[in-house]
Amino acid sequence: MIGKGLGFGGVLGRPEIVVRTASVEDATMIAAIHGESFARGWSDGEIEALMRQDNVAALAAEYRNVFGHSNAAGFVLFRSAADEAEILTVAVNPASRRRGVGRALMEEAIRRLYAERIGSLFLEVDGGNAAAIALYEMLEFIPVGERSGYYAHGATPARGALVMRRDIR
Ligand SMILES: CC(C)(COP(=O)(O)OP(=O)(O)OC[C@H]1O[C@@H](n2cnc3c(N)ncnc32)[C@H](O)[C@@H]1OP(=O)(O)O)[C@@H](O)C(=O)NCCC(=O)NCCS
């Protein structure tokens, strides 16, 4: 549980981010946030099928504001194999961004992978996704490669993807 105080002198509560293991019952919520976050959304069924795979783990975050109202704020899905893992997708509800939710989700994923003795965590990010790249750099991911023309955005020229890695051990 991670709290960020706003200094209201105890009149209002502290905003809180709670990160928990997600289950297939969360697939609809995850698909909704995914759909608001990416040009190509994934259906509930696609999310659920991914979550049912043995080596895939999912975390969900809830954000509770100073008035005590909680909402589903974000999720991360990651997959591990041998001593490596990859982030499959991570997203935060647009209304809950820039409050530390993405960071809390990624940090909890890294903690869990560390406990499983995973050595390296990889991810792939659209080279134009400044918000995500800033988050990953803050978490000490380093660029280790590029894939050109991987992300096509309609009529605009396809942009490259950045492959990033974070050592966990
Ligand atoms: C990328 C994403 C998950 C970040 O989630 P978030 O909850 O807003 O991120 P946080 O609040 O934890 O931000 C942590 C740090 O990342 C960086 N960051 C996050 N969003 C940023 C933005 N829009 N511009 C610049 N830096 C940003 C900042 O350094 C930030 O720290 P600060 O707020 O103290 O300056 C969110 O923007 C999102 O869901 N985007 C759409 C989906 C997506 O692109 N997913 C990644 C695919 S690879």
Can you give the residue ranges of every domain in the chain?
A: 2-119
Residues 131-139: contacts with CB within 8 Å, 24+ apart? 131/97, 132/90, 133/162, 135/102, 135/103, 135/106, 136/106, 136/164, 136/166, 138/103, 139/103, 139/106, 139/107, 139/110, 139/166
Domain 2-119 CATH (choose: 3.40.50.300, 1.20.1250.20, 3.40.630.30, 3.40.50.620): 3.40.630.30
**pLDDT digits (tens), the chain, 169 positions:** 554 444 444 568 999 999 999 999 999 999 999 999 999 999 999 999 999 999 999 999 999 999 999 999 999 999 999 999 999 999 999 999 999 999 999 999 999 999 999 999 999 999 999 999 999 999 999 999 998 865 555 545 567 899 999 999 8
142 C-beta closer than 6 A to ligand 1: no
As a whole number of angstroms, the distance between CA 58 and CA 50 comes to 10
Residue type, 141: F
How far is residue 165 from each of residues 36, 118, 153, measured CA to CA in Å?
26, 12, 25
Residue 95 in contact with ligand 1 by CB distance below 6 A: no
Catalytic residue flag (residue 86): no
